[in-house]
Structure 1
Amino acid sequence: MPGKILIVDDEVHIRMLLEQTLEELEEDHGVEILSASNGEEGLRLIREHRPDVVFLDIMMPKLNGYEVCQRVKEDGETSACNIVLLTAKGQEVDRKQGLEMGASRYMTKPFDPDEVLKVARDLLDIPE
């Protein structure tokens, strides 16, 4: 069953790199890839499209990733969404806060594209 992935990051080159990284899931498995450039837009797309996985930056304009994660997890209609916080904030306190907000995973930038692909496959239940 193909799923949907949403990429939410205010840096265009990060969004493009993530899209390229996840492209094989789109081509080989029919996974739909969406993207947003800020937290407000990301939250709107989560509510509209109900993605299975969201790769979410923390430091963004309008709404930060923690706020988006918290709102998604508090909403019964979106709470099943898997959120992967993908951020430059690598301190343990940041990781702990992200996981406490309900994130499924916490990854730091710079990220390994193979690891991102592995996490997406795992959360979408797509075998290697």
Structure 2
Amino acid sequence: MPEGREAKRVLIVEDEDNIAIALDYLISREGYEHTRTATGEGAVELIREMRPDLVLLDVMLPEVSGYEICQAVRMDPELKDVRILMMTARGSAMERRKGLAMGADGFISKPFELKELRAEVRRILAGEPAPDLEAITPERPE
């Protein structure tokens, strides 16, 4: 981390320990400060207290879904600068569109490659827009 620059803060909202360990490893290696919570309940309050630069947000959480958390953050004008990367094992194009429509800055499917996640975290923290969804996941007629 260059001198005089504050480390980015990341909140990990993930209930699966194995995934959280991988995320912890990646975030630590990138030099970001981070905290983890394993449930959706209380996540919005933690976001308000912590004011993270980025939230790595699982979609399927105990008590409150990641979609509900994302929506609550986006409805709070004081949290407008908080970036959100949603993660889910149900990585269909429809799920991705739903997450982005709710205000997520990015959406990644589990299992993910650490290289892919690292690139997405860097893109979001740099303020770059999400790539065109249709270019990545064209809809195929069934």
- Tell me, yes or no, whether TM beats 0.5: yes
Report the Cα distance in structure 2 between the residues aligned to 1:92 and 1:120, rounded to whole angstroms.
Answer: 20
TM-score under structure 2 length normalisation: 0.80
- The 3-state SS of whatever aligns with 2:44 is helix
By how many angstroms is 1:114 displaced? Answer: 1.0
1:65-101 CA-to-partner distances (Å, cap 9, x unmatched) read: 0000000000011122110001111122111110110
**Which position in structure 1 is the counterpart of 2:60?**
59
- Say if 2:87 is the partner of 1:71: no
**Which position in structure 2 is the counterpart of 1:115?**
116
Report the Cα distance in structure 2 between the residues aligned to 1:119 and 1:90, rounded to whole angstroms.
Answer: 15
- The 3-state SS of whatever aligns with 1:40 is coil
Amino acid at match of 1:9: E
- The 3-state SS of whatever aligns with 1:86 is strand
Greater share of helix residues, 1 or 2? 1
- The 3-state SS of whatever aligns with 1:85 is strand
Structure 1 residue runs without a partner (length 5+): none
Amino acid at match of 1:5: V
- The 3-state SS of whatever aligns with 2:43 is helix
- The 3-state SS of whatever aligns with 1:60 is coil
**Which position in structure 1 is the counterpart of 2:21?**
16
Would you say how many aligned residue pairs link Structure 1 and Structure 2? 121
Report the Cα distance in structure 1 between the residues aligned to 2:23 and 2:48, rounded to whole angstroms.
Answer: 21
Contact kept? 1:8, 1:36, Cα under 8 Å: yes
**Which position in structure 2 is the counterpart of 1:36?**
37
Tell me which of the two structures has the higher relative contact order, counting C-alpha pairs closer than 8 angstroms and 6 or more residues apart.
Answer: 1
Q: CA RMSD in A?
A: 1.2
Structure 1, 79-88 or 113-122: larger mean CA deviation? 113-122
TM-score under structure 1 length normalisation: 0.88
Structure 2 residue runs without a partner (length 5+): 127-142
Structure 1, 36-45 or 65-74: larger mean CA deviation? 36-45
- Say if 2:91 is the partner of 1:86: no
- The 3-state SS of whatever aligns with 2:49 is helix
By how many angstroms is 1:120 displaced? Answer: 1.8
